Each structure stands twice: as C-alpha cells, then as structure tokens.
Amino acid sequence: MRRLLVTGGAGFIGSNFVHHVIDRTDDHVTVLDKLTYAGNRASLDGLPEDRFTFVHGDITDAPLVDQLFSEVDTVIHYAAESHNDNSLDDPSPFLDTNIVGTYTLLEAARRHERRFHHISTDEVYGDLALEDPARFTELTPYNPSSPYSSTKAGSDLLVRAWVRSFGVRATISNCSNNYGPYQHVEKFIPRQITNVIRGIRPKLYGKGENVRDWIHADDHSSAVLTILERGVIGETYLIGADGEKSNKDVVELILGLMGERTDAYDHVTDRAGHDLRYAIDSTKLRTELGWTPAFRDFESGLAATVDWYRANEDWWAPAKDHTEAFYASKGQ
C-alpha cells in the first residue's frame, strides 16, 4: 500500500484521479486542496474513511506542505489555477499557485526525497495552425500564449530543474483538454450543456473554428496511474486520445444530443490571444508504457456527460449565475 498525497484533489481532474486510485489500488490518499472557487468537497463524497483524508490548505503553505510530505511516499500535483479566461482577467493567483506553489512542493520533495508527479497541459507548447498535420510531441519547443499557460510552462521547467540539479525523482505529464463529469461550469463543454439546461443559447468564441483535442478525464487518470507505476524518472509523457474537434462541431453535437436545433448558438467576443489548435501525439506513452485510452467514441462520452449534468444540478447550480455574470461583463 502506497501513501499518496494528491494536491488539487477537489478539482475536476484531481477528484477523478482520487476515485480512480481508490477503486483500483490499495493505496491511501490524502488530498491537499485550498477549496478555491474551483474546488468542490462534494466531488470527493463517498470515499472510504479508512483510505482517504482531506486536508483543507494551500500548496504555498511551506510548513503544512512539509508536514504532509513527511507522511506520504508519493505526491501527484494537480493543484492549479486552471482557467485561461480568468488568467486574462487577473494573472496574480496563477503566479502564486502555479509557480510559487509548485516551487514549494518541489522543495519539500527534495527535502523528504519523495517521488513526485507533475500534472501539466499541452498548452505549454503554444498552438498549431488549423490545417497543419503536425501534432505536439515531447520534443516540441515551449511557446505558451496566455498567463495561465505560461505559468504552467514555468512550473514544468521548475520540475525539470529540480530533477537535474537536486535529483528529485519526478515525472511530468502534459495532457490535452479533458471532459467528463464534475468539471466547473466556467469551462467550454459544461458551460454549454448547463446553458442549454437553463434555456440560454451556447456561446462560441469568435468563429468557433479553434480545435481542441478532447480526452475523457477517466483516460487522463488511467494514464497518470500508468506513469506512476511504469514511468521513467526525469521523463515527460504527453497524454492524448486522438480527439480533435472544432469548437463549432462540439457545440453542434451538444445541441443535437440535447434535442435542440444545431444552429441555436451565438458567436461572442473572441478570447484574447486565443490558441488556434492543440493536438497531441501520445506515441511515447502508448509504446513505452503500454497505455491505451478506454473512451474511443467522443459522442457517447459526451452524451454520458450531458446526462450527468442533467442529473446533478445541485452540484453545479451554485456556481452558474456568477460564472455567467463574469462572462457577460466581457461580452462573452
């Protein structure tokens, strides 16, 4: 039995990973989460008390981090400010959590000689042209566009430096866009699903031609568990499931699945510096570590996600009104 510390475990992907690990291993999991606007304790309901501990706290709190690192073997670092649009509004918490927070954890990993896995994003590589057949690989140069992605890029580089300079036993994964249940309504897919439930027309930034490479959060979790079990220290692994879709196609799919006319959406003000296209080549993870995604059909994964938001309004409704008020203030 390993003792795992999961930072950001009350967020969308971190909570998915906690359930994934509890269901498939004998490990004990401690979650450290600040419960920002994005964290939701209810996403961790139902976990067995003898295998799960929740600690409400901040990853920049060095004494607390030090104490928790002394009690575990392995740390999986999900905590972040994660939304590009918020980073354009106020970058400051992105610097604190994504940069200073990651630094605080790395120093503790170094002192306590703990195995560390850093969760990151394909956005560190910038964007690709729409018609370009190329995809990101582990060798693509870093070229982040937004305050969010630049702080994630900075955090990746800190991890690499702590591996090389101090021998910290760390791995990094950079994943494409996740979808599935328990995602905050500020993000694209849940925003549009909950808009339709509320009778609001979906909002597409600009022309809606931008492409994202969608992966189900369950597949992200299985990939991270694979890296923890078989990954090589110091290596970076890209995680993706060949799920490229334009935003327009996704909105039309959601509308169709929800029984609405597929043209019943609005074009709104584009995101500043909006990345055109992301696409992941996950050959390294698949061939070297033997990982494969379980979700192969985006439309059925999306249909199950629509069903989840229909059935779990109590989970998302408290955040919906002020999220929409924020977007409305920016013409989005």
Using CB under 6 A as the binding rule, whether residue 247 contacts ligand NAD is answered as no
179 is catalytic: no
By a kind-dependent CB cut-off of 5 to 8 A, residue 155 interacts, out of ligand NAD, ligand TDX, none, with none
Kindly give the interhelix angle for 298-311 and 313-329, rounded to the nearest 10 degrees: 100
Of 67 and 266, the one with the shorter C-beta distance to ligand NAD is 67
Interaction partner, residue 324 (ligand TDX, ligand NAD, none; CB < 5-8 Å by kind): none
Phi-psi region of 234 (alpha: psi -120 to 50; beta: other; left: phi over 0): left
Residue 214 contact, options ligand NAD, ligand TDX, none, Cβ 5-8 Å cut-off depending on partner type = none
Q: Is 148 a catalytic residue?
A: yes
Q: List binders of ligand TDX among 288-327 (CB under 6 A).
A: none
**43 vs 195 by CB, closer to ligand NAD:** 43
97 binds ligand NAD (CB under 6 A): yes
Quick check: helix, strand or coil at residue 59? coil
Distance CA 47, CA 98 (A): 27
- Under rule CB under 6 A, which residues in 106-145 are in contact with ligand TDX? 121, 123
By CB under 6 A, what part of segment 184-213 binds ligand TDX? 187-188, 191, 203-205, 210, 212
Choose the stretch contacting ligand NAD; rule: CB under 6 A; options: 4-12, 45-53, 105-113, 130-138: 4-12
Query: What is d(CA 193, CA 309) in angstroms, rounded to the nearest whole number?
Result: 7
Q: Which of 10, 124, 224, 241 binds ligand NAD (CB under 6 A)?
A: 10
Contact present, 82 and 8 (Cβ < 8 Å)? no
Least Å from the CB of residue 159 to ligand NAD? 12
Tokens of 269: 């003000």
Report helix, strand or coil for 272.
Answer: coil
**CA angle (285 as vertex; 283, 290 as ends), nearest 5:** 105
Fill in the DSSP letter of residue 261.
-
Shortest distance, CB of residue 144 to ligand NAD, whole angstroms? 12
Segment near ligand TDX (CB under 6 A); pick from 77-85, 98-106, 232-240, 292-300: 77-85
Q: Is 103 a catalytic residue?
A: no
Q: From residue 61, how far is each of 44, 49, 56, 181, 250 by CA, in Å?
A: 22, 25, 11, 30, 40
Pick from 208, 192, 223: which is nearest to 324 by CA?
Answer: 192
| Residues annotated catalytic, as ranges | 122-123, 148
